[in-house]
Amino acid sequence: MKKPLIVIIGIISLFVGQACDQQQSTTDQDSPMLSSHTEQAEGNEAGEASAGPDSEQNEEPGIEVVTDPQSVAVLVNEEYALMDGYEPDDLVYPDIPFIFEEKVEKRLMRQEAADAVEQLFAAAKDDGMTLLGVSAYRSYQTQKSLFDYYVAQDGEELARTYSAVPGTSEHQTGLAIDVVGEDLSCAVEDCFADTVEAKWLEENAADYGFIIRYMEGKEELTGFKYEPWHLRYVGVEMAQEITKLGVTLEEYMNAVPVSDQTPIEN
């Protein structure tokens, strides 16, 4: 039950966006979470949305590299990783409120997802509620710094049980965003599911191209804990289909279940 505290600390200390991946809070200004980015490898050419996970074998056994990371349908999880240093080439700042003011990395999303999230938030507003962004894009380097920090603290085996390995966080696609209601209640906590905002998202997110990515009871399939606050842009048509079917992106893509991993946070 660490999240409310983490969020409050985060607002003060500028790295709230890490909360979704954070087990221990820290306000250490020298934390690797604040380390600067390195040059990124160029991404693949944009591809069409494909019906299955395109990937090649990675050097690391069991993990495959996604070959079409620019597709809005890209599947990224513990089995399908983005190539080292992948960075989307169309990241922009969506015009939506976040729980922090700074114009920083975690505010970024890919252009198409940014346009969609603006419409999503506007529609919520029309229905009388204010959504806030908590954390959107997270670079490979940021995830790596986080992960390395946890490895140094707890060792790799334990770190892997609660933090995404660099390249396996959906936040690196620029298509994911964690959200919360205006009162910040249950931010990045399971009880967010009981808020009016979460109910509204369940009913409406798909119409704007978003799915609630990590479903309850599907942890074995996704490899991630239930996260009712984590929205993933896949485009309207696919989002509506996935939502109607009530399946995970893994099931929709007929991918190999991530069953040998302990569900983690993203």
The residues of the shown chain that bind Zn ion, judged by CB under 5 A, are 20, 178, 230, 266
Taking the least distance from each CB to Zn ion, the nearer of 178 and 197 is 178
Strands 227-233 and 176-181, by their bridges, are antiparallel
- Closest distance between Zn ion and the C-beta of residue 249, in Å? 14
Whose CB is nearest to Zn ion? 230
Q: At 173, phi and psi to the nearest 5?
A: -75, -20
- Closest distance between Zn ion and the C-beta of residue 190, in Å? 13
- Closest distance between Zn ion and the C-beta of residue 180, in Å? 11
Nearest in space to 164 (alpha carbons), one of 92, 256, 63: 63
Taking the least distance from each CB to Zn ion, the nearer of 137 and 200 is 137
- One-letter amino acid of 146: L
Taking the least distance from each CB to Zn ion, the nearer of 54 and 169 is 169
Taking the least distance from each CB to Zn ion, the nearer of 180 and 253 is 180
227 is catalytic: yes
- Closest distance between Zn ion and the C-beta of residue 142, in Å? 13
Q: Which DSSP string corresponds to 57-116?
A: E-SSTT-EEES-TTSTT---SSSEEPPTT---S-EE--SS-BSS----GGG-EEHHHHHH
- Closest distance between Zn ion and the C-beta of residue 188, in Å? 8
From residue 154, alpha-carbon distances to 86, 148, 149, 157, 177 in Å are 26, 10, 9, 8, 27
Q: Which of 78, 189, 219, 227 is catalytic?
A: 227
Strands 64-66 and 55-57, by their bridges, are antiparallel
Cβ(16)–Cβ(134) under 8 Å? yes
Taking the least distance from each CB to Zn ion, the nearer of 173 and 266 is 266
Q: Looking at the annotation, which residues are catalytic? A: 227
